[in-house]
Amino acid sequence: MKTFEKNIRKAEPYVPGEQPWQKVIKLNTNENPYPPAPGVEKALKSMDADRLRLYPDPTAGELVKALADFYHVDENQVFVGVGSDDVLSMCFLTFFNSEKPILFPDITYSFYKVWAQLYRIPYECCPVDENFCIKKEDYFKENGGIIFPNPNAPTGLYMELGDVEEIIARNQDVIVIVDEAYIDFAGKSALELIDKYENLIVVQTFSKARSMAGMRIGYAISNPLLIKYLNDAKYSFNSYTMNQAAIVCGIEAVKDKEYFEEGIRKIIRTREWAKEELKKRGFLCLDSKANFIFAAHPGYDVQKIYEALKRKGIYVRYWGSERIEQYVRITVGTEDEMDTLFDFLDRYLAAAKD
């Protein structure tokens, strides 16, 4: 081993879902199957390339203002970043600086463990129960901070706001981050608790309900003090995180509330129908409130189903990791895409039985 090896910060990276370049039915990374708001395309087409000579506004002020108006908070309560991954990573760096372990569920967004390891933050995973529900009591012990998604990923299970509040209220000496990447498809957001709890940060994204995963925009909403700490860390890292296209397109997406709400309704409708269709075929589905469905099949090896689907150009997500070996996660696509999935499953399940 070379001597310098011991000084290298080694990381075990997060493994993102595949982004195949061929045309496939893509139900593996929780993207939205519908295009972004029409104003986004217009903004892109009318962008003046000459503007790119200049650095973008380091504060992304206009985007921050659009978000502040939309969520009825002050501009100094909003922090934006390059997808919520960037925002969450900044939150880990800024707020999780204790010797005590931070807490998050054992079955959850696998990036949390990666950031904890990268930044050398001690952590402890709290096992979800046998129905994959987060047990709030596990988060009432001493800790260095808390993070969980609501709805959780990859289960899609939503925790009622009263339970979320109990976790925040019982942990007022540490920062609690609620990762609401999928909240628009679910229920009440913890945003309504922002003024009540000084230790709360809510993180959301443009990648799901706003159909802009490719543009990479995420944001945190909290009180001005915590947002200042986040900005101080960001400006110590990279001043210009938000590029010009992201700023102008992001504003257009936020402005179109009607399109946003209609898009959410469509996904929820398809999700509820798809859950029933899966159940008709013998799948066990968790009651997802996100834009994906976590499902197992008692009669079949789910890994084989995943592989067969992939050979047919239908991509879903399979991890094969502890406790979830028999589950796949299926992103809610268009009704046509889901019909193609069900047609294939009908043929596969019939053939695999013989």
Min CB(151)–ligand PMP separation in Å: 8
Q: How far is the CB of 82 from ligand PMP (least distance, A)?
A: 8
HSE (side-chain half, CA atoms, 13 Å) at 213: 14
Q: Please, what is the minimum distance in Å from the beta carbon of residue 219 to ligand PMP?
A: 9
Q: Does 101 bind ligand PMP (CB under 6 A)?
A: no
Contact 157, 286 (CB under 8 A): yes
Q: Does 28 bind ligand PMP (CB under 6 A)?
A: no
123 near 101, Cβ under 8 Å?
yes
- How many residues of this chain interact with ligand PMP, rule: CB under 6 A? 12
Q: At 69, which amino acid appears?
A: D
Stretch in the footprint of ligand PMP (CB under 6 A) among 60-68, 78-86, 159-167, 261-269? 78-86
Nearest residue relative to ligand PMP (C-beta): 83
207 binds ligand PMP (CB under 6 A): yes
Residue 181 in contact with ligand PMP, rule: CB under 6 A: yes
Which three-class secondary structure string do you get for 10-77?
CCCCCCCCCCCCCCCEECCCCCCCCCCCHHHHHHHHCCCHHHHHCCCCCCCHHHHHHHHHHHCCCHHH
Local structure of 252: helix, strand or coil: helix
Nearer to ligand PMP, 109 or 139 (CB): 109
> Which residue number, 56 or 250, has a Cβ lying nearer to ligand PMP?
250
Among 64, 153, 175, 254, binds ligand PMP (CB under 6 A): 153
Half-sphere exposure of 219 (CA within 13 A, CB side): 29
Decide: residue 170, CB within 10 A, 0-12 exposed, 13-18 middle, 19+ buried.
middle
As a whole number of angstroms, the distance between CA 297 and CA 330 comes to 13
Contacts of 208 (CB under 8 A, 6+ apart): 30, 31, 32, 181, 182, 184, 185, 290, 291
Residue 107: how many CB atoms within 10 A of its CB? 23
Q: Does 331 bind ligand PMP (CB under 6 A)?
A: no
Helix (H, G, I), strand (E, B) or coil at 169: helix
Q: Judged by CB, which is closer to ligand PMP: 77, or 207? A: 207
Q: Is 85 in the site for ligand PMP (CB under 6 A)?
A: yes
Q: How many helices (H) and strands (E) does the chain have?
A: 10, 13
Give whichever of 84 and 223 is closer to ligand PMP, judged by the CB atom. 84
| 83 sits near ligand PMP (criterion: CB under 6 A) | yes
For position 211 contacting ligand PMP by CB under 6 A, the verdict is: no
Among 189, 205, 288, 331, binds ligand PMP (CB under 6 A): 205
The one among 33, 218, 250, 333 contacting ligand PMP by CB under 6 A? 218
Contact status: 31 vs ligand PMP (CB under 6 A): no
Task: Look at the chain and count its residues.
Answer: 354
In angstroms, how far is CA 315 from the centroid of its own chain? 19
Q: Does 179 bind ligand PMP (CB under 6 A)?
A: yes
For residues 293 and 30, the answer to whether their CB atoms sit within 8 Å is no
Asked whether position 291 contacts ligand PMP by CB under 6 A, the answer is: no
Closest to ligand PMP by CB, 109 vs 283, is 109
Q: Is 81 in the site for ligand PMP (CB under 6 A)?
A: no
Considering the rule CB under 6 A, would residue 213 count as an interface residue with ligand PMP? yes
Q: Interface with ligand PMP by CB under 6 A: which residues?
A: 83-85, 109, 149, 153, 179, 181, 205, 207, 213, 218
